[in-house]
Amino acid sequence: MEEQLWERIWVWHALLAAMVVVSTGIAQSDTRMSGSDRLLVLGLSVAVLVWHWLMMARRPEWWLRPLPMTVYWVGMTGLVLALVTLHQHHSVMLYALYPLMFVTLGWWAMLPVAGVTGFVAWTLAGPAAPRGVLLSVLSSTAVALLIALFVNALVKQHERLREARAELAETARRAGVLEERERLARELHDTVAQSFTSIVTQLEAADQAFDGRAEDAREHVVTARTTARDGLDEVRRSVQALRPDLLEEASLPQALERTLLWWSAASGVRAELRTTGDVTALHPETETALLRVTQEALTNVARHADANRVIVSLSYLGDTVTLDVDDDGAGTTVAREGGFGLVGMRERIAGVGGALIIESEPGQGTTIAASVPS
């Protein structure tokens, strides 16, 4: 069972123990009591502490169970009333017991509170009873009611806060699941889709060259096989949420350079990397995002642009890093249609605090510009 707020408030136990010790000390110092009465008071006081420890302090899970609490309060009420009968100052224990009674029994505590108060008032109503003691018994009941109202309000507030935290945790969990799904979708798109696009391109070229140019066909098949193996490795790493192989082994400019060399050899389109500024290491997620955006942009060029040349510009500008991918192709409608690849690029850059702009006009090529904080 989940721990309740009041189960952690040690003051309940400390207050009762203090009241027992004080009242017992006063009774032991009262010269009007006989030795046997002092001994009986001492025994009953120890019984109160032991009973409270066994039934309440050690077993907080019983606080909300009616049967254990009924047994506890029947025993505790009998011990306290016996002590009050022996010496009137034991009535101060009611200050500790009444609030606890309301906490564990709820508003049903009004019944035992009324009964105990009536008994104690009747016991102390004799001529020998100081008026202050009788007033203390009556005031303890009023104080207990006020404390009960405060505790109940505190507990309800705690429950509301706990429910709010649980709701926020569930919302965060769902958002995390959604984000992870989107991440995996982007990773699989950026790896599997790019690899299969290259494989299809190579196999189509091999098919065209198969009859008359066997060596060329073999070369295309070898390239397709290599691409398939690389793609499989990337899928495995993507599922494991690790950085791409290229970034594990090299800096971002080096990874981009290798990507362009591989892509140019596979697509037959000239590609060039231009780097400006002082190269600095970026956050791993930022470098991964820039590399994936470049790979997706190159995939779109190979599919749609019919370009002859691609220039990738990486610029380190102090607190900002920019990446531009320009091609001289016929322009593409993918940028305007907003396909999954474009959405993935924007989400990747936005995920690292950056922005992405795509400009494409018919016959004027396409420019993909990303900027991220360094």
Q: For 95-130, b where at least 16 C-beta lie within 10 A, e where not — what string?
A: bbbbbbbbbbbeeebeebbeebbebbeebbeeeeee
Residues forming beta bridges with residue 316, ordered by sequence position: 321
Using the 3D structure, point to which of 133, 168, 203 is the last residue of a domain: 168
Q: Do residue 141 and residue 253 come from a single domain?
A: no
Asked whether residue 120 is assigned to any structural domain, the reply reads: yes
Asked whether residue 263 is assigned to any structural domain, the reply reads: yes
Q: Do residue 123 and residue 11 come from a single domain?
A: yes
Asked whether residue 66 is assigned to any structural domain, the reply reads: yes
Q: Do residue 286 and residue 370 come from a single domain?
A: yes
Sequence-distant (6+) residues with CB within 8 A of 105 are: 69, 73, 112
Check if the beta carbon of residue 194 is closer than 8 Å to that of residue 299: yes
Using the 3D structure, point to which of 168, 184, 211 is the last residue of a domain: 168
Using the 3D structure, point to which of 143, 168, 193 is the last residue of a domain: 168
Q: Do residue 147 and residue 282 come from a single domain?
A: no
Asked whether residue 369 is assigned to any structural domain, the reply reads: yes
Asked whether residue 129 is assigned to any structural domain, the reply reads: yes
Sign of CA dihedral 307, 309, 314, 317: negative
Q: Do residue 163 and residue 263 come from a single domain?
A: no
What does each of the 374 residues of the chain score in pLDDT, given as a tens digit? 344 444 445 777 888 888 888 888 888 888 788 888 889 989 998 999 999 888 887 877 777 787 888 888 888 888 888 888 888 777 778 777 777 777 777 666 666 776 676 666 666 655 455 555 556 556 666 666 676 667 667 667 767 877 787 777 677 667 655 666 666 666 666 666 666 666 667 666 666 666 666 666 667 677 766 776 676 666 655 554 445 566 767 789 998 998 888 888 888 889 999 999 888 888 888 888 898 889 888 888 887 778 889 999 999 998 899 999 998 887 755 444 455 567 778 888 888 888 898 888 887 888 899 999 98
Q: Do residue 161 and residue 278 come from a single domain?
A: no
Per the structure, the count of domains in the chain is 2
Closest residue by Cα to residue 134 from 97, 84, 86: 84
Q: Do residue 144 and residue 260 come from a single domain?
A: no
Q: Do residue 163 and residue 249 come from a single domain?
A: no
Asked whether residue 212 is assigned to any structural domain, the reply reads: no
Closest residue by Cα to residue 63 from 158, 164, 165, 155: 155
State the residue range of the domain holding 22. Answer: 6-168
Q: Do residue 23 and residue 161 come from a single domain?
A: yes
Domain at 299, CATH number: 3.30.565.10
Asked whether residue 214 is assigned to any structural domain, the reply reads: no
Q: Do residue 27 and residue 159 come from a single domain?
A: yes
Q: Do residue 254 and residue 138 come from a single domain?
A: no
Q: Identify the pLDDT of residue 213.
A: 66
**Rounded-to-integer distance, Cα 241 and Cα 92, Å:** 65
Sequence-distant (6+) residues with CB within 8 A of 48 are: 16, 20, 76, 79, 80, 83, 93
Asked whether residue 252 is assigned to any structural domain, the reply reads: yes
Q: Identify the pLDDT of residue 7.
A: 47
Say whether pTM exceeds 0.85: no
Dmax (CA) of the chain: 127
Q: Do residue 273 and residue 368 come from a single domain?
A: yes
